[in-house]
Amino acid sequence: MLIFILGEDISFKGWSGIFLILAGVVFISLKSGIKKSDFKTLKYALLVGLSIVLYSVNDKVGVAFADPLVYINFKDLIAISFNKSFFFLNREKGQ
């Protein structure tokens, strides 16, 4: 789906990288001893893989519109601000 949104062709190396990330995520989840009836670990592992794909695409689109150094610093500033707000919210609750 993201291929159609971004309008790009993915090379063989790109598909290989996607496959290796997916295979690595599944391998790590299976290494922990998943049982046939317990797919919770695999579900979370696939969600981690999906988040990797989404932030990678986000970074690709972001650096297309801004200088990479500016983009990364701006993204870090937003992340720090977001994390600080959670810190202060939890601090006010006495946690």
**pLDDT tens-digit map of 20-62:** 887 887 777 776 665 655 677 777 777 887 888 777 777 888 8
Q: pTM for the whole thing?
A: 0.57
Number of folded domains in the chain?
A: 1
Note down the domain range covering 59. 2-92
Give the whole-angstrom CA distance, residue 50 versus residue 74: 23
Q: Tens digit of pLDDT for each residue in 69-83?
A: 998 898 888 888 887
C-alpha 88/C-alpha 32 separation (Å) is 35
- Is-contact 58 79, C-beta < 8 A? no
Distance CA 78, CA 8 (A): 28
Q: What tokens appear for 51 in the block? A: 């988040």
